[in-house]
Amino acid sequence: MSWKTMLIGRPLDSAREKHERLSTAMGLAVFSSDALSSVAYATEEMLLPLVLGGVALTRFAPLVALAIVVLIAVVAVSYMQTIRAYPTGGGAYIVAHENLGEGFGLTAGAALMIDYVLTVTVSISAGVAAITSAFPALLPYTVEICLAALAFIAVVNLRGVRESGFLFSFPVYFFIGSMVLLVLAGLFYTVGGKLAPEAAPPPAIQVLPLLLILRAFASGCTALTGIEAVANGVRAFKQPEAKNASLTLVWMASLLAFFFIGITYLVHQAGILPRDEVTVLSQLASRVFGVGALFYALQFATFMILVLAANTAFADFPRLSSVMAQDYYLPRQLMSQGDRLVYSNGILLLTVFAGALIVLFQGKTHAMIPLYTVGVFVAFTLSQSGMVVHWLRTREEGWWWAATMNGIGAVTTAVVLVVVASSKFIHGAWLVLVAVPTIISFMFSIKRHYFRIASQLVLEGSPEAMAANHSDTLYGHHSVIIPISGVNRPVLNAIRYARAISNDVSAIYVRLDDRQTSVTQEAWSKYGMGVPLLVLDSPYRSVIEPLLDYIDEVRKVYKDGVITVILPEFVPSRWWEHFLHNQTAFLIKTRLLFRSGVVSTSVPLHLK
């Protein structure tokens, strides 16, 4: 058994994909950890600006929290309309791209990608901070612990959707149970008058109260991060996907609103204020439970949910990058599923980006918080605006109600975006506002590259196509195998070369998609120069293994012969463009190097 198999498990057959999907219970565990974990710090973030204006200004905390709960409801209802209209998955990128145009779609996609990376880094850093606070001796190893937690979550996600759902179900539901108990117990003590402030608050010093209330609202909006995750991951649910996704969204939004307003109300009733040495949630838990078993259970549940909140990003970032790669805005390698029916390359890319940020910011949560929420509200606004255009264009049954809900969501989130961006601009939000157009420019460059390459690979009117049926075949005999992934100019070049050195030439095509296979066979009948095409099946989506098995069978028949494998390749004009294409030919050559009696050679086509 290889190290890869031990780490992430054995490959799964493509036919098992539908069995790897999530129920609503596991879907809540996979997609809600980011949103629900935010209640661990959202109330505290909301209180910090209010305290700057004097303790008496904190009396507005319940009203601000209520406004945020209303916003949660508006966004949740709006995304339910999105799920209804896009039952196969309607993330902000898809909705904005289809209804508002390419530029808005890329803006939404870039903003979400940034937010997913920040979700991972902030969640893991906040969770590790809880450990280092309890055990100060571990503080010098903050970065190492963060990277270890990141690696653990990445490996779990590489093992597959269902396995990550099973593993993360316990921490999520443990946290939900702990929070329900905390809020209900706190409300019980409040009714009994046992949760009153311990001391009278000091006199208030009112400093720009309206501005501070707006800042408090913007900071409290961190509670909404991750609420769009369900709409982005509809395809991960069992059938009927849209119904299960909508139900999961309702449960997630309801729990989020209940926890947030409940904690804020109890904190206000108890007169709890932010302190450097202990979190607001921890102060509340100690007042309600006392410093005992229930207190430590809640602290442990909070640590687990904060670390595992990164799983929401690991569930959605690979899917988003896969969709964008299909549209040629990201490297094509990101659109392929790996051995375990997950988008492995997207998971690895997210791991690298998040690890780099952890090292750059040394695992300090407060240094990354100002970058948070801006990207997600950009995505919220564009998604809801795109849905309004969708309903006005399609006018499906009940379109006016759906358009109204999405319109309210678009206006509300746009206003919040302005508040969040302006209040956090000098604290680091400007970095996100600069990064989004930079990423968009990079995506346009990738798409131009793919289109330029495609234009140079077409057959119609090319010299290779015109000479396809007039090639000279008066050469010596030699057995040749040509692996192909389609019919294009490099393939025809390889055929001409093969026929120049042998009369025994065959081509191999590995079936990964029935529609693409039919297209290839049709093109081969026109341009294949009479060379037979053998189609091999691959239940595990591997291109190399079926080819090697076929070569081994040929070697058994011609034990004293030599097999030459000719690899059609094209060479981009710039060195960095090589990284945007699959390195299948290189992997084949590497594997063939260790097989006796088999020779590999490349037939390159140099592009302008």
Give the separation between CA 51 and CA 41, rounded to whole angstroms: 16
Q: Which amino acid is at 553?
A: E
DSSP SS3 for 505: strand
Q: Which amino acid is at 489?
A: R
Give the separation between CA 258 and CA 69, rounded to whole angstroms: 8
Q: What is the pLDDT of residue 463?
A: 65
Give the separation between CA 205 and CA 276, rounded to whole angstroms: 21
Q: What is the pLDDT of residue 478?
A: 57
Q: What is the pLDDT of residue 13?
A: 44
- Residue 382's closest CA among 422, 413, 408? 413
C-alpha angle 497/499/505, rounded to 5°? 115
Give the separation between CA 242 and CA 80, rounded to whole angstroms: 9
The dihedral formed by the CA atoms of 429, 434, 438 and 443, expressed in degrees to the nearest 10: 40
Give the separation between CA 449 and CA 454, rounded to whole angstroms: 9
Residues with Cβ within 8 Å of 427's Cβ and at least 6 positions away in sequence, in order, are 370
Q: What is the pLDDT of residue 389?
A: 92
Show the tokens assigned to 519.
């297209």
Residue 577: DSSP 8-state: G
Give the separation between CA 496 and CA 544, rounded to whole angstroms: 23
Q: CB–CB of 507/524 below 8 Å?
A: yes
- 509 forms beta bridges with 484, 535
Q: What is the pLDDT of residue 7?
A: 47
Give the separation between CA 458 and CA 113, rounded to whole angstroms: 33
Beta-carbon neighbour count of residue 368 at 10 Å? 19
Domains of the chain listed by start with CATH number? 23-447 (1.20.1740.10), 463-606 (3.40.50)
* Residue range 74-101, pLDDT digits in tens: 888 888 888 888 877 667 888 899 899 9
The string of DSSP letters for 246-292 reads HHHHHHHHHHHHHHHHHHHHHHHHHT----SSS-HHHHHHHHHH-SS
- C-alpha distance from residue 494 to each of 411, 448, 518 (Å): 57, 26, 21
Edge-to-edge order in the sheet of strand 533-537: 533-537, 504-511, 479-484, 563-571, 598-606
Residues of the chain below pLDDT 70? 1-21, 89-90, 130, 133-134, 160-168, 192, 196-208, 276-277, 336-342, 365-367, 369-370, 427, 461, 463-478, 582
Beta-carbon neighbour count of residue 585 at 10 Å? 20
563-571 and 479-484 beta bridge pairing: parallel
* Residue range 369-382, pLDDT digits in tens: 667 778 888 888 99
Number of helices followed by number of strands (H, E) in the chain: 25, 5
Q: What is the pLDDT of residue 258?
A: 94
Give the separation between CA 517 and CA 530, rounded to whole angstroms: 18
Q: What is the pLDDT of residue 4?
A: 46
